[in-house]
Every structure is written in structure tokens, then in C-alpha cells.
């Protein structure tokens, strides 16, 4: 029993020590740095994109929670926005994975962990309002990605074109952004017409179609 108590105490001490810092105390290996060829302006703006994606995820989570409330009860909209939140979270993970692949985030990642970030809103009048906010949010995210591409393609005062990152963002992110924006615009159009003709009943029917994956 005494041996068990000593073991528990040792584990507690280790836990307390490890919780004090996220930084690794192991001496790093001597690895050549020439392969890390990303320039500082490109690194900084790409790191900032992680927070943009997480904030978008937080906003979609807020939308999903709003439509799941008993006083709103639109499970189709809730499911759609929760799924959108997961997609934005995966975008943040992809950006982090890319930075790691290029040899970044090796010293201190605490700047990427200063969360939670607030959502853009917490309540929405109806489905059209929420979808409109979502479209505006995605449009801003697209602008941010285009800004990253411009910065990394022609960094100011630095003759370096990061072809690989530009190609990655163009193919992996922009394609999905533009497709998603078109989908949201179509949803706003359809739902707006249904609500104009049938009022709240139109939103109820649209929610059912969302829930069943028909639109």
C-alpha cells in the first residue's frame, strides 16, 4: 500500500510539472536549417490564418447551437452548421500540418493556442439571416486566403516565390471556398423564395430537406 501511495505521489508531481509549460525541455537535435525556406511575411500570415479558421468554426458552432435550441428547433440547420464547423476546424489543422511540413512551429506554438476566439454572432433571426452571415464569413475567409497567396507569391522586398504553397492553397482551399460560396448562395435563394411564399412554414419544410440531405 505504501509503495502504491509513493507511485501516485510521483505521478502527481510529474503531472504538475508537465502542466506548467507546453514547451519541450529536451535538447533539440542539430538539423541543418537551409531546407526551411519559407520567408517571414509568408509564415506570419499563414499562422494568422489558423485563428481565422478557428474563429469561423466557433461561429458555425454558435449557429448550430442556436438552431438546436428548443425555442428554435431547426435540426436540419443545426446539423448543417455543425458540419460546417468541423470543416473549418479541419482547415485549421491542414494549415498547421503544412507549417510543420515546411519546418515551422518548432520552437513555440503558444501563439496559436490563445483560444477561445469569440464567434461573429450568437443569435440569428431566421435561416436566411444565418446563411447570409455564413456566406459573408466564407467570402472573408476567401479574401484572406487570396491575400496569403499574394503575400507568398511576391513577398515585399524579398525575391522569393513560394510556388508550392501557392499551388497548395489554390488547389486545396480556393476550390472548396468557391464551391461552398456558390452552395450557400443557392441555399439563400431557395430558402428566401420558400419563405416569401409560405413564411415560417417554408423554413420548416426547408429544414426538413436539410436534415434529410436532400439539399
Domains of the chain, first to last: 34-211 (1.20.1260.10)
Q: How far is CA 152 from CA 25, 42, 160, in A?
A: 32, 5, 8
Cell of 36: 526551411
CB 58 within 8 A of CB 104: no
Residues at the annotated binding site? 53, 88, 91, 138, 177
Give me the pLDDT at residue 166, please.
Answer: 94
Rounded distance, CA 212 to CA 209, Å? 5
- Nearest CA to 34 out of 100, 109, 103, 107 is that of 103
The model's confidence at residue 7, banded by pLDDT at 50, 70 and 90, is very low
Residues at the annotated binding site for Fe cation? 53, 88, 91, 138, 177
Longest distance between any two alpha carbons in the chain, whole Å: 76
Give me the pLDDT at residue 6, please.
Answer: 42
Packing angle of the helix pair 75-101, 200-211 (nearest 10 deg):
50
Q: How far is CA 199 from CA 54, 125, 194, 206, in A?
A: 34, 13, 7, 11
Least confident of 56-60, 125-129, 143-147, 160-164: 160-164
pLDDT digits (tens, 9 = 90+) for 172-215: 999 999 999 999 999 999 999 999 999 999 999 999 999 999 98
- pTM tops 0.85: no
Over residues 81-100, mean pLDDT: 96
Give me the pLDDT at residue 193, please.
Answer: 97
Amino acid at each position: 500500500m505504501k509503495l502504491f501511495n509513493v507511485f501516485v505521489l510521483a505521478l502527481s508531481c510529474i503531472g504538475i510539472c508537465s502542466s506548467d509549460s507546453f514547451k519541450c525541455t529536451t535538447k533539440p537535435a542539430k538539423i541543418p536549417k537551409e531546407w526551411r525556406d519559407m520567408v517571414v511575411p509568408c509564415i506570419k500570415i499563414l499562422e494568422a490564418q489558423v485563428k481565422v479558421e478557428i474563429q469561423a468554426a466557433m461561429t458555425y458552432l454558435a449557429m448550430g447551437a442556436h438552431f438546436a435550441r428548443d425555442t428554435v428547433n431547426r435540426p436540419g440547420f443545426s446539423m448543417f452548421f455543425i458540419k460546417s464547423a468541423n470543416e473549418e476546424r479541419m482547415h485549421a489543422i491542414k494549415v498547421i500540418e503544412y507549417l510543420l511540413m515546411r519546418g515551422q512551429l518548432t520552437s513555440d506554438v503558444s501563439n496559436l493556442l490563445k483560444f477561445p476566439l469569440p464567434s461573429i454572432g450568437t443569435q440569428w433571426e431566421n435561416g436566411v439571416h444565418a446563411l447570409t452571415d455564413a456566406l459573408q464569413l466564407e467570402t472573408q475567409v476567401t479574401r484572406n486566403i487570396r491575400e496569403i497567396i499574394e503575400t507568398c507569391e511576391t513577398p515585399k522586398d524579398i525575391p522569393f516565390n513560394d510556388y508550392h504553397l501557392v499551388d497548395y492553397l489554390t488547389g486545396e482551399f480556393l476550390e472548396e471556398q468557391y464551391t461552398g460560396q456558390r452552395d450557400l448562395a443557392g441555399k439563400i435563394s431557395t430558402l428566401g423564395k420558400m419563405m416569401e411564399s409560405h413564411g415560417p412554414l417554408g423554413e420548416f419544410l426547408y429544414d426538413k430537406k436539410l436534415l434529410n440531405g436532400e439539399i
